[in-house]
Amino acid sequence: IGAERAAERLLLAALCSVCQALQDGMLFPTESPSREVKDVSGLWIFRADESPERSRGFEQQWYKSPLAETGPVIDMPVPSSYNDITQDAQIRDFIGWVWYEKDVWVPARWIQDRGTRIVLRVGSAHYYSVLWVNGVKVTEHVGGHLPFEADISGVLRQTSGNQCRITIAVNNTLTLETLPPGTIQYMTDRSRYPAGYFVQNTNFDFFNYAGIHRPVLLYTTPKAHIDDITVETTFSDNIGLVSFNVSVLGSSKAAVKVTLSAQDGRCVASADGSRGVLKVTDVNLWWPYLMHENPAYLYSMEVSVQATAEDGQTDVYTLPVGIRTVKVTSTQFLINNKPFYFHGVNKHEDADIRGKGFDWPLVVKDFNLMKWMGANSFRTSHYPYAEEILQMADRHGIVIIDECPGVGIKDIRSFGNVSLAHHLTVMEELVRRDKNHPSVVMWSVANEPASEMPPAGFYFKELVSHTRSLDSSRPVTYITASNYARDLGAPYVDVICVNSYFSWYQDPGHTELIGLQLNTQFDNWYGKYQKPIIQSEYGADAVPGLHSDPPMMFTEEYQKTVLQNYHNVFDQKRKEFVIGELIWNFADFMTSQSIIRVVGNKKGIFTRQRQPKAGAFLLRERYWRIANETVHVLNCF
């Protein structure tokens, strides 16, 4: 109960600070003539608070002195989940506070130059985090998967100067109000469980990896600095239009200048002022991979801010900009006014050893595999992915459905006001972070919530309309597995996204039923809502190397047969209103232990080590065939 209460208290406190923080931007830290970035990821030290209430670290103020002086510490890589790094099952399954610490040197000139702002930024940590610098608390944050930061200039200048001890406490306890939700259950039957024994229950199908999952950075800006940039793009004939809004902090009278350059460095438009519209003649649009011979065209928008004070430095930030539009009709998803068909994958941030820790080799390998198989899109199931992944998608033309961590909302108590307020805040954080990515074409506010429960109607109405108010340029959806007749949120979404597992969870072994059931599914949903539909998940587990003919469940042949049966229906319905298919899943991934999982979920078409199963070759053939048809269609215009 201690862990749960502490978590709840922290959640409430953090919710308030997040509400305030949202007035500020969350630009990805990049270097520029006015900005420096110092990556302080790498080897940190680590201590799990194994005290029964998990509260010893706070009672003994472990942040006040070097962590190694408080008790035994171990090495811990950052970024990485801590769970699979040791041989200790207690660390793998740990619930509660863990403590990270690293000593770093801050360049002397950063400290000496009073006009420099020094920011500490964590790409993400799961789930609640508290940050101290030299023993002084600088911020806290609720929620994994999204970045948070603190201006630490003052603390550094007041405390010991160049040496900087960063302490981060992270707690993975989930409550009914967190995203995703979870509960702590104390086992009180003393004949079966020792005193104080508890487990964490969740309703989602992936391992609740925890720790510092993305890079930790120190970066600088001038005092008068670019806090946020918002761009929205459209075009008419050969003229591209980029409307921009720059917010500046630290100066009330800064002069803003914006310059847009083409890939060859040529300046194509410029403007003065913090708001405006840039006109680009002979525009090169941002096209998805396989939809155009020159996909993923990115302009580069340089924003510079000159503070008027005498010592004011110029701040410069460069943002990649893709010019494209997204629209939805009752039967189509249009990118740049051309029909776009999602032939893609659902992913997870998940790999051996590092868990959900960001890892460049993995990211690049996954993009290579997606392009190899002819995938043009993926969904960030079931939470926001690292910004570096979205940047890759921008550069390669891979289209993204960007999902928030609203997964496993099954308990009616998770539809209350506190949950909704937090969910809205998370959408604000997500949109603030990802709004400028051309690859992001739709927001997904949840996965498979209990959308038939009475409060779901109000909950999703609010959630979808709030998301639209944050960004009117993209459609909004949530992913449903509910029955079309009972789903209470569907009236509010722009695109219906349906998950189904015919011949797996229903009628196991009966692939001959897929055609009938899938046709019924599509006709029912379309008949009721007249909105385009994406099959946002379908698939079957295949233990790699397991074979049987005729196919049996868990073999590679069975996975292939399920896919083929789904594809037959997709091929009919994509002539009508089905606008996409996303396989579940790109790769095998870890889950909690259960009798329906064999060392994780095996619905990947690649293994967890990214080797193809038979299904990968089947999809590859299909996706390239569809892509070739699209190019053919394009050539007809």
Q: How near is the Cβ of 28 to ligand BDP at its closest, in Å?
A: 28
Q: Which is nearer to ligand BDP, 284 or 380 (CB)?
A: 380
Burial 517-533 (b: 16+ CB within 10 A, else e): bbeebbeebbeebebbb
Q: Does 482 bind ligand BDP (CB under 6 A)?
A: no
- At 301, is the secondary structure helix, strand, or coil? strand
Q: Which of 49, 149, 205, 403 binds ligand BDP (CB under 6 A)?
A: 205
Q: Does 145 bind ligand BDP (CB under 6 A)?
A: no
Active-site residue identified among 387, 429, 448, 537:
448
Residue 464 φ/ψ, nearest 5 degrees: -70, -40
Is 448 among the residues known to form the active site?
Answer: yes
Scanning the structure block, which residue is given the tokens 């006014």? 337
Q: How near is the Cβ of 206 to ligand BDP at its closest, in Å?
A: 7
Q: Which of 379, 432, 603, 613 binds ligand BDP (CB under 6 A)?
A: 603
Compose the 528-547 pattern: x for residues touching ligand BDP by CB under 6 A, - for all others.
---------x----------
Q: Which is nearer to ligand BDP, 291 or 542 (CB)?
A: 542
Q: Does 402 bind ligand BDP (CB under 6 A)?
A: no
Helices (H), 277-436: 360-372, 387-396, 417-434
8: exposed, middle or buried (Cβ count in 10 Å: 0-12, 13-18, 19+): middle
Q: Which of 153, 477, 499, 630 binds ligand BDP (CB under 6 A)?
A: 499
Q: Does 447 bind ligand BDP (CB under 6 A)?
A: yes
Q: How near is the Cβ of 245 to ligand BDP at its closest, in Å?
A: 36
Q: Does 601 bind ligand BDP (CB under 6 A)?
A: yes
Q: Which is nearer to ligand BDP, 394 or 537 (CB)?
A: 537
Q: Does 350 bind ligand BDP (CB under 6 A)?
A: no
Q: Are 37 and 31 in contact (CB under 8 A)?
A: yes
Q: Does 228 bind ligand BDP (CB under 6 A)?
A: no
Q: Who contacts 310 (Cβ-Cβ below 8 Å, separation ≥6)?
A: none
Q: Looking at residue 584, what DSSP letter applies?
A: S
**Angstrom distance (rounded) from CA 24 to CA 252:** 15
Q: Does 448 bind ligand BDP (CB under 6 A)?
A: yes
Q: Looking at residue 288, what DSSP letter applies?
A: -
Q: Which is nearer to ligand BDP, 229 or 479 (CB)?
A: 479
Taking CB atoms, the residue at the shortest distance from ligand BDP is 205
**Angstrom distance (rounded) from CA 363 to CA 366:** 5
The percent helix, strand, coil of the chain (3-state, each to 5) is 25, 30, 45
**Angstrom distance (rounded) from CA 404 to CA 467:** 11
**Angstrom distance (rounded) from CA 182 to CA 466:** 24
Q: Which is nearer to ligand BDP, 251 or 480 (CB)?
A: 480
Q: Which is nearer to ligand BDP, 327 or 410 (CB)?
A: 410
Q: Does 480 bind ligand BDP (CB under 6 A)?
A: no
Supply the residues annotated as catalytic. Answer: 448
Q: Which residues lie near ligand BDP (CB under 6 A)?
A: 205, 382, 447-448, 481, 499, 537, 584, 601, 603
